């Protein structure tokens, strides 16, 4: 392998791959990135055996000091973190010359030269190819919005392993994304799609969801390809190939968790957010609880802590239901606010012992999102 590549072209995929590669690995080679050069293209691969990310870099014919361009094929693995740190700290618009000398990858950039230990490419593991049963295309921004509006409700190290991820319910015209952790539920649905004869129900692991949100933050109008197998999902963009194993489990019927209350309250989102933020300052650091006291036309929010301190906020609401007192984890409420585009929030209450439904008063470009938060005793 003997190539010349611009710093910026190498830095972006290395940054993305560093999120996939684990620093502490039982296998030393898993902390490495696989560099493969073929057909004037550099492929950078990182994996933790559950997720695999391949960055695609087209190599330009860069001439140095009037000499002929040097681009020869080959493969090698090298520390992902060290190569990323080298690229990150070099000046902008630097040309890097990478070549293999004996058992080292030599990186030259101007007057700088680095020799990195390598491991053989043949020993690098990969997620084996599998037969994909379903395939469709979708706008990059659409998939990212579905994940972004729900990811914060995923479980973290829950013994019910199917909660440690996001559930995708895919049909020919609709994609629903659901996340829940036993205390709250987030659901976003994308309507009026035309993705062909596709019916699939899959659970993406938590790490894969977080990586995809970062990965899909580029061109919103770009169309990506999604392929699904029994235990794999693969997403192909212009710059990356992302493959992940799926959680093999049956997701619970999320529709049964959506309350059917009748007492509806509508209020200004920004005013509610500011009131919750201020009240949270004096809430218990451990339980993060706030109390809602609903009266026709008004909402009073109170918080207390172990030092007997108290915060109280009063808001005007469009509410004509029964008087009610109910407690919530304020962090769960504040997580919802950035995910809702509407300027008005709509709360649907059933009773003090049942979950509350929260959604925007208006939909967001064919994406409808709703959130359920279970009450807490204060």
Determine the pLDDT at residue 365.
Answer: 62
- Residue 285 CA, distance from chain mean position: 27
- For residue 310, is pLDDT > 50? yes
- pLDDT tens for residues 246-265? 999 999 999 999 998 889 99
State the average pLDDT over residues 79-95.
Answer: 94
State the average pLDDT over residues 315-332.
Answer: 94
Q: Which range among 51-55, 176-180, 310-314, 362-366 shows the weakest confidence by mean pLDDT?
A: 362-366
Q: Do 2-123 and 134-255 agree at the fold level? A: yes
Confidence at 132, pLDDT banded by 50, 70, 90: confident
Spatial strand order of the sheet with 289-295 comes to: 310-316, 298-304, 289-295, 324-329
Mean pLDDT of the chain: 91
Beta bridge partners of 106: 99, 115
Whose tokens are 């696989």? That residue is 34
State the average pLDDT over residues 5-33.
Answer: 89
CATH entry 3.10.150.10 includes domain 134-255 = yes
Query: Which percentage of the chain shows pLDDT scores above 90?
Result: 77
Which ranges constitute the DSSP H helices of the chain?
7-20, 80-89, 140-148, 206-215, 269-280, 330-336
- For residue 272, is pLDDT > 80? yes
Tell me which DSSP letter residue 251 carries: P
* Cα gap 214→217, rounded to integer Å: 6
* Cα gap 121→11, rounded to integer Å: 21
Whose tokens are 């013994």? That residue is 159
- For residue 362, is pLDDT > 90? no
Determine the pLDDT at residue 219.
Answer: 65
- pLDDT tens for residues 339-356? 998 999 999 999 999 999
- For residue 282, is pLDDT > 90? yes
Determine the pLDDT at residue 363.
Answer: 62
Burial class (CB in 10 A: 0-12, 13-18, 19+), 249: middle
- pLDDT tens for residues 58-74? 986 444 444 445 568 89
- pLDDT tens for residues 20-33? 987 777 788 999 99
Determine the pLDDT at residue 67.
Answer: 42
What fold is seen in the domain 258-373? DNA Polymerase III; Chain A, domain 2 (3.10.150)
Query: pTM score, two decimals?
Result: 0.91
Determine the pLDDT at residue 66.
Answer: 43
Confidence at 364, pLDDT banded by 50, 70, 90: low
* Cα gap 293→327, rounded to integer Å: 9
Query: Which percentage of the chain shows pLDDT scores above 70?
Result: 95
Determine the pLDDT at residue 24.
Answer: 72
Q: Which range among 36-50, 219-233, 285-299 shows the weakest confidence by mean pLDDT?
A: 219-233
Domain boundaries, the chain: 2-123, 134-255, 258-373
Q: Are 322 and 304 in contact (CB under 8 A)?
A: no
The residue with greater pLDDT, 171 or 25, is: 171
Architecture of domain 2-123: Roll (3.10)
- Kindly state the tokens that stand for 45: 């691969």
């Amino acid at each position: 392998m003997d190539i010349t590549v611009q710093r910026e072209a190498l830095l972006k995929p290395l940054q993305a791959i560093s999120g996939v590669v684990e620093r502490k690995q039982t296998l030393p080679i898993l902390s490495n990135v696989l560099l493969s050069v073929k057909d004037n293209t550099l492929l950078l691969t990182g994996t933790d055996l559950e997720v695999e990310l391949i960055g695609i870099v087209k190599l330009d014919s860069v001439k140095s000091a009037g000499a002929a361009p040097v681009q020869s094929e080959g493969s090698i693995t090298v520390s992902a973190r060290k190569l990323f740190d080298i690229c990150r700290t070099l000046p902008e618009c630097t040309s890097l010359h990478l070549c293999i000398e004996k058992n080292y990858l030599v990186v030259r950039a101007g007057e700088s030269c680095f020799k990195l230990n390598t491991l053989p490419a043949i020993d690098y593991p990969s997620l084996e190819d599998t037969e994909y049963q379903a395939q469709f295309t979708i706008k990059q921004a659409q998939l990212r919005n579905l994940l972004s509006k729900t990811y914060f409700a995923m479980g973290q190290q829950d013994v019910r392993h199917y909660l440690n991820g996001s559930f995708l319910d895919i049909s020919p015209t609709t994609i629903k994304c659901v996340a829940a952790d036993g205390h709250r539920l987030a659901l976003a649905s994308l309507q009026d799609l035309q993705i062909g004869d596709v019916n699939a129900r899959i659970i993406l692991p938590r790490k894969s969801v977080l990586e995809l949100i970062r990965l899909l933050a580029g061109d919103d109008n770009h169309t990506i390809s999604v392929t699904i197998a029994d235990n794999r999902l693969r997403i192909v963009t212009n710059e990356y190939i992302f493959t992940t194993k799926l959680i093999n489990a049956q997701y619970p019927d999320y529709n049964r968790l959506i309350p059917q209350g009748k007492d509806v309250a509508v209020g200004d989102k920004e005013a509610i957010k500011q009131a919750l933020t201020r009240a949270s300052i004096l809430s218990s650091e451990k339980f993060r609880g706030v109390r809602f006291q609903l009266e026709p036309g008004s909402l009073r929010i109170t918080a207390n802590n172990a030092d007997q301190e108290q915060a109280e906020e009063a808001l005007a609401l469009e509410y004509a239901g029964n008087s009610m007192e109910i407690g919530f984890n304020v962090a769960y409420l504040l997580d919802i606010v950035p995910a809702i585009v509407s300027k008005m929030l709509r709360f649907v209450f059933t009773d003090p012992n049942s979950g509350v439904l929260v959604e925007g008063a208006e939909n967001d470009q064919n994406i409808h999102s709703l959130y359920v938060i279970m009450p807490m005793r204060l």
